[in-house]
């Protein structure tokens, strides 16, 4: 399988995205469970049928582009809001990036590492290795690159992220990812209660880090990606539940900027696994 990944890594993005469109629709058609979850989640956010249809193809593109992002040459990236990153790093108080399962979330961390991480402000991302040995090797090689570091999903990983923030560095989290049991709380997401991580809020409260919202828009015709960065609309509330709810609301606002590129097939409302 690793050989297939290496072969695909040299394909142009437009071709990979074409294959991804086919794969996205294939899975949607042949898997009733996936299709139901996809539509249930999209309906929860009140998407139009046009947005749902586009999202089916975009989900396939997300998978098909991974060989290029993990093993291939750098892809074209443009920035929108880089000045927010520069201002936050200048404070030397740490920077927490919150990125939902929107667009190409892999590229957001890679683009930061390329532009800012090599200047002495690396990004640390939370990482749970895949179960498959061959895939674990590929992903770990991709995540360990200049300006980009990984932290395990454990107490040691949390301590690593706190240390990075106190050194004025950046960390990246997917706050709409369902955490293990005991590491989250129920909070509304598009009007339905979802088990939501508290780690992002706790990191900010313990370190005083700046929070920025970021996501990587997948551009049409394989032209690359646009990394969007924006600050929170308002400061996080003091109480934990209110702060977690505010993070979910911020993720909703990002998703609604480009709902056709959100990963609606992700089991956002599932029960948490045991830690």
pLDDT digits (tens, 9 = 90+) for 164-204: 999 999 999 999 999 989 899 999 999 999 999 999 999 99
Which pLDDT score, from 0 to 100, does residue 275 have?
59
**95: β partners:** 170, 210
Q: Are 197 and 206 in contact (CB under 8 A)?
A: no
The model's confidence at residue 135, banded by pLDDT at 50, 70 and 90, is: confident
pLDDT digits (tens, 9 = 90+) for 224-272: 999 999 999 889 999 999 999 999 999 999 999 999 999 999 999 998 8
CA distances from residue 245 to 3, 55, 57, 198, 262 in whole angstroms, order as listed: 43, 25, 30, 10, 19
Which pLDDT score, from 0 to 100, does residue 176 have?
95
Three-class SS of residue 23? helix
3-state secondary structure labels for all residues of 83-129: HHHHHHHHHCCCEEEECCCEECHHHHHHHHHHHCHHHCCCEEEEECC
Report residue 168 CA to chain centroid gap: 21
Show me where the domains of the chain are located.
Answer: 75-261
Residue 3 scores a pLDDT above 90: no
Q: What is the dihedral of CA 29, 30, 33, 37, to 10 degrees?
A: -20
Dihedral sign for Cα 266, 191, 251, 187, please: negative
The model's confidence at residue 134, banded by pLDDT at 50, 70 and 90, is: low
Average pLDDT, whole number, for the chain?
93
Which pLDDT score, from 0 to 100, does residue 153 have?
81
CA distances from residue 23 to 33, 60, 84, 118, 196 in whole angstroms, order as listed: 16, 5, 36, 36, 29
Cβ neighbours around 77 below 10 Å, total? 18
């Amino acid at each position: 399988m690793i050989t297939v990944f290496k072969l695909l890594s040299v394909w142009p993005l437009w071709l990979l995205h074409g294959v991804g469109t086919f794969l996205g629709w294939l899975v949607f058609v042949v898997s009733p469970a996936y299709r139901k979850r996809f539509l249930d989640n999209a309906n929860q956010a009140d998407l139009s049928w046009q947005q749902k249809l586009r999202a089916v193809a975009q989900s396939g593109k997300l998978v098909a582009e991974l060989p290029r992002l993990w093993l291939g040459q750098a892809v074209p990236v443009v920035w929108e809001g880089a000045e927010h990153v520069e201002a936050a790093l200048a404070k030397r108080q740490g920077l927490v990036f919150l990125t939902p399962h929107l667009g190409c979330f892999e590229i957001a961390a890679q683009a930061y590492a390329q532009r800012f991480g090599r200047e002495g402000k690396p990004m640390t991302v939370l990482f749970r290795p895949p179960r498959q040995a061959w895939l674990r090797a590929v992903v770990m090689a991709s995540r360990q690159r200049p300006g980009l570091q990984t932290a395990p999903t454990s107490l040691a990983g949390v301590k690593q992220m706190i240390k990075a923030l106190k050194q004025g560095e950046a960390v990246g989290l997917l706050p709409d990812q369902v955490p293990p049991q005991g590491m989250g709380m129920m909070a509304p997401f598009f009007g339905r209660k979802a088990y939501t991580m508290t780690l992002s809020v706790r990191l900010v409260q313990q370190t005083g880090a700046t929070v920025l919202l970021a996501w990587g828009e997948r551009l049409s015709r394989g032209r690359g990606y646009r990394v969007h960065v924006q600050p929170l609309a308002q400061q996080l509330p003091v109480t934990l539940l209110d702060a977690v709810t505010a993070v979910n609301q911020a993720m909703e606002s990002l998703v609604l900027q480009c709902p056709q590129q959100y990963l609606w097939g992700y089991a956002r409302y599932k029960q948490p696994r045991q830690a």
